[in-house]
Structure 1
Amino acid sequence: MNRRLAIRDLTLALGGLVSIPSWASNGWNANSLSISSSFFKTAEQNILEVIVETIIPESSTKGAKSLGVPAFLQKMLQDCYEAPVSENIKNGLSATDATAQKQFGKPFEGCNTQQKQQILLGFEKSEDTRLKEFYSLIKNLTILGYTTSEYVQTEFLHYNMAPGHYYGCVSVKK
């Protein structure tokens, strides 16, 4: 046996064990996210929560808001996207409230479900590419956050990190 190869392989194996990231658990939950409270203003955070709840509302199952998806969105926007994208999101949140004021005479949070859906679908079909990109990103991140949450992974998708068993002593017959 070559001692150098054995030491190299052992080092790689130990390095792999040490570097197993937190994604190896059963998904994320709202308590596992550390977010900066200064990323969104309170009004923007409230509008984001209402948008997320409009996209995936609470029914017999938990909705996006109750699973902490707004915190997931904030963490993703803060850590994974560049400043122009984050600014577009902030501008889109302001535009959402302004559109609600213009169309219905009340803030977005005060609108009923149909009015909220009408505003968001208007953004989806808008000629303004910034609004279209805003809604598309919020919708996609909401779906991503919801489907990768610990609740959905364990309750509906029956996620198991190492599924099945390995039976190495099975005879092969034709």
Structure 2
Amino acid sequence: MDRREALRSVAILLGTAISAGTTDILFSSYTLPESEKNAVNFSAEQIRTLTEIADVIIPTTKSSGGAKAAGVGKFIPMMVNDCYPAKQQQSFYKGLTEFEARTKKQYGKSFALIPLAERKKMLNALRQETLDQKTNKLPERADIAYFFTTVRDLTSLGYFSSEIGCTKAREYVQIPGSYDGAYPLKPGQKSWAT
């Protein structure tokens, strides 16, 4: 099974956890021409920002490492460059750039360097802005809303297709038995990864 087929399987497994737009791009990326790939270049600072955003979305817990431990910060730009058309890559990049500019204006430093409480506030505000954008449809907010939706989706996809996500955050049986779609979960049990 190649990487795209594996990601498609994970996207189906996660179901509504990933937006229709992201699912559509992942499925149609089979036909993405090489000239569309790598339309933007992410700096080391931007990758650190993506890593910290992902880690706020899926933090480390007592039972499993978070998105940072799973390497999601490098997964996000790789997926954007390899699977998204140039127009969407540029929209994502513009949204990331705008988000970083907001952070620097408000706190005087990069998102990766501000305290965790402030990171959470910024992402909650961005989440609300993205929800508002669905009804308001303001053109000047389109890129940042697209950025948030995509980073959220790719964080989930990257985490739950990683070894940590499959073996620590979910129940995992290396060699499962026969399929039983009605097998009961015990109270408090994690969902199955296999």
Shared fold per TM-score greater than 0.5: yes
Match of 1:50 in 2: 52
Is 1:152 the counterpart of 2:165 in the alignment? yes
**C-alpha deviation, 1:137, in angstroms:** 0.8
**C-alpha deviation, 1:146, in angstroms:** 0.8
Match of 1:41 in 2: 43
The answer to whether the Cα contact below 8 Å between 2:52 and 2:112 also exists between their aligned partners in 1 is: yes
**C-alpha deviation, 1:135, in angstroms:** 0.5
Q: Which runs of 5+ in 2 are unaligned?
A: 11-37, 134-140, 180-194
**C-alpha deviation, 1:162, in angstroms:** 5.8
Structure 2 counterpart SS, 1:125: helix
Q: Deviations over 1:91-143 (max 9, x none)?
A: 22222221112222332122111211222222222241221111011011101
Q: 2:91 aligns with which of 88, 91, 94?
A: 88
Q: 1:95 to 1:158 in 2, by over 3 A?
A: same
**C-alpha deviation, 1:165, in angstroms:** 4.8
The answer to whether the Cα contact below 8 Å between 1:99 and 1:119 also exists between their aligned partners in 2 is: no
Structure 2 counterpart SS, 1:59: coil
The answer to whether the Cα contact below 8 Å between 1:52 and 1:64 also exists between their aligned partners in 2 is: yes
1:21-32 aligned within 5 A: 21=2
Match of 2:110 in 1: 107
Distance 2:43 2:53 in 1: 15
Q: 1:101 to 1:150 in 2, by over 3 A?
A: same
Q: Which runs of 5+ in 1 are unaligned?
A: 1-19, 28-35, 167-174
Structure 2 counterpart SS, 1:136: helix
Match of 1:14 in 2: none
Instruction: Give the root-mean-square deviation of aligned CA atoms.
Output: 2.6
Distance 2:125 2:146 in 1: 12
**C-alpha deviation, 1:83, in angstroms:** 1.0
The answer to whether the Cα contact below 8 Å between 2:47 and 2:74 also exists between their aligned partners in 1 is: no
Pick which of 131-140 and 57-66 moved more. 57-66
What code does the residue aligned with 2:162 have? S
What TM-score comes out, normalization by structure 2 length? 0.60
Pairs aligned (count): 136
Q: 1:67 aligns with which of 56, 65, 70?
A: 70
Q: 1:98 to 1:160 in 2, by over 3 A?
A: same
What TM-score comes out, normalization by structure 1 length? 0.66
Structure 1 counterpart SS, 2:69: coil
What code does the residue aligned with 2:128 have? K
Identity of aligned residues (%): 29
